[in-house]
Amino acid sequence: MITKEDMVELFADMKQNAPWDISKPLLWGYFFADPVKSKLEVAGEQLKAKGYQIVGIYDSKPEASVPALWWLHVEKAEHHTADTLHVRNQEFYKFAEEHQLESYDGMDVGPVA
C-alpha cells in the first residue's frame, strides 16, 4: 500500500529533479489490475464517467503456466500535493475493493502535453 510518507518523498523528489512545475496540473496515470478483463472494463467506464480518460486495458502477456493479469490505465490532468494524492490513492484502494479488483497498483506522472 502506498503511504503518505511515500507521497511526501515523491513530491520532494519531483520538486528537486522533475523537469516540470509541480505547482501546475500534471498528467496523472492510475493503474488497476485483475485477472478478469471484463471487471476492468466496467471499472474503466465508471472512472470515465468521473472524468478520467481510459488509456487502455493491457494483458500482462503471461506464460502458459501463469494466469493472465489485465491492467487498466486511466489518466487525468490534475494538480496534486502530497496530501491530495494520498487521499486519491485511498479513494482508489477503496474503489478497487468495492469493485472486487485484485489491486489498485499506483500511479505515474508526467507533464500535460
Asked if pLDDT for residue 18 goes beyond 70, the answer is yes
Tens-place pLDDT, residues 66-113:
677 999 999 999 999 999 999 999 999 999 999 999 999 999 999 998
pTM score of the predicted model: 0.92
Give the CATH fold of the 4-11+26-110 domain. Answer: Alpha-Beta Plaits (3.30.70)
Tens-place pLDDT, residues 23-55:
999 999 999 999 999 999 999 999 999 999 999
How many whole angstroms separate alpha carbon 29 and alpha carbon 44? 13
Are 112 and 29 spatial neighbours (Cβ–Cβ below 8 Å)?
A: no
- What are residue 33's DSSP bridge partners? 71, 103
Quick check: helix, strand or coil at residue 109? Answer: strand
- Annotated domain spans of the chain: 4-11+26-110
Q: For residue 64, which phi and psi values (nearest 5 degrees)?
A: -60, -30
